[in-house]
């Protein structure tokens, strides 16, 4: 089945120790998104790639970066995690045909990150 | 500023007790409204897209409706497996989510 896969599902890291989260998709979608979702809150968009074009949200901390080496994979790098970065990180994809924000987004299962 | 507000925050239902969740929005030129279901510790699962006032979509025990100012998600005769957080979202410059309604259905 076509899907969005995230690895690892759970990640524990030390304060300040860099961490990388992975997302892959078999949907062949043009757009890949990264969201942060804290407990009992709405998902918050960090950035997205439209094909190779990177789009950063204005309020995304510089500590968060992303790479998309090919259509299928996208990575979230947190350079120096702080305690406040403990959250669920969600990857999503959409076709990207036409008006991007109105595309249906399909989410992966998420990576629960804990910073100690 | 565009806003999406969901109510109630939490809803506890007895199995078979139908109810509705509300998603109200303030946007200029709505281009669609999405409903997602999110189980604990998992990513949101797409349910419906509604594009214009008067539109309705159904899936099993769920029915979503849309007016010019709000959307309702009706749950008819819910079962325990319908327990989840239901998120609505509007696509503007980006997809803006409401905080969700957590539904608990007791057997």
Query: Looking at the predicted structure, is the pLDDT value of residue B1 above 70?
Result: no
Model pLDDT, residue B95: 86
Q: Range with the lowest mean pLDDT among A53-62, A99-108, B19-28, B72-81?
A: A99-108
For B:33-52, CB contacts with A below 8 A are 34, 36, 41-46, 49
A43 contact residues in B (CB cutoff 8 A): 44, 87, 97
Residue A99: per-residue pLDDT:
57
**Widest CA span in chain A:** 42
Query: Hey, which residues 49-78 in chain A have their CB within 8 Å of chain B?
Result: 57
**Domain extents for chain B?**
3-106
B97 and chain A: CB distance < 8 Å anywhere?
yes
What is chain A's mean pLDDT, rounded? 93
What pLDDT does B29 receive? Answer: 79
3-state secondary structure B52-104: CCCCEEEECCEEEEECCCEEEEEECCCCHHHCEEEEEEEECCCEEECCCEEEE
Bridge partner residues of B31 (DSSP): none
- A72-88 pLDDT per residue, tens: 999 999 999 999 999 99
Q: Is A43 on the interface with B (CB under 8 A)?
A: yes
- Structural domain range at position A65: 4-96
User: For the residues A12-17, what does the mean pLDDT come to?
Assistant: 96
Instruction: Judge whether A35 lies within some domain.
Output: yes
Mean pLDDT to the nearest integer, A18-38: 95
Report yes or no: B101 at the A interface, CB cutoff 8 Å.
no
Q: Structural domain tally of chain A?
A: 1
* B3-106 CATH fold: Immunoglobulin-like (2.60.40)
C-alpha distances out from residue A42 to A24, A30, A35, A87, Å = 23, 24, 10, 11
Is residue A8 included in any domain, yes or no?
yes
Interchain proximity B99–A40, CB inside 8 Å: yes
Place of tokens 């950035």: A47
User: Where residue A39 sits, what CATH number does that domain have?
Assistant: 2.60.40.10
pLDDT at A100 over 70: no
Query: How does pLDDT run across B68-103, given as a tens digit for each residue?
Result: 899 999 999 999 999 999 999 998 778 889 999 999
State pLDDT tens for residues B11-68: 999 999 999 999 999 887 788 999 999 999 999 999 999 999 999 999 999 999 999 8
Q: What is the pLDDT of residue B27?
A: 82
């Amino acid at each position: 089945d076509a899907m969005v896969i995230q690895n690892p599902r759970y990640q524990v890291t030390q304060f300040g120790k860099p961490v990388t989260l992975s997302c892959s998709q078999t949907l062949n979608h043009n757009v890949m998104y990264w969201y942060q979702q804290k407990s009992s809150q709405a998902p918050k968009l960090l950035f997205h790639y439209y094909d190779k074009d990177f789009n950063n949200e204005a309020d995304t901390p510089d500590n968060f970066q992303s790479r998309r080496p090919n259509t299928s994979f996208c990575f979230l790098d947190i350079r120096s995690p702080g305690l406040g970065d403990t959250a669920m990180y969600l990857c999503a994809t959409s076709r990207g045909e036409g008006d991007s924000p109105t595309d249906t987004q399909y989410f992966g299962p998420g990576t629960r990150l804990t910073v100690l | 500023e565009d806003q999406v507000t969901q109510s109630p925050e939490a809803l506890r239902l007895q199995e078979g007790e139908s109810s509705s969740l509300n998603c109200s929005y303030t946007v200029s030129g709505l281009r669609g409204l999405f409903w997602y279901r999110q189980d604990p510790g998992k990513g949101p699962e797409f349910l419906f897209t509604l594009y214009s006032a008067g539109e309705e979509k159904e899936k099993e025990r769920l029915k979503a409706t849309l007016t010019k100012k709000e959307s309702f998600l009706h749950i008819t005769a819910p079962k325990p497996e319908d327990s989840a957080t239901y998120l609505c979202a509007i696509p503007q410059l980006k997809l803006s989510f409401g905080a969700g309604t957590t539904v608990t259905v007791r057997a």
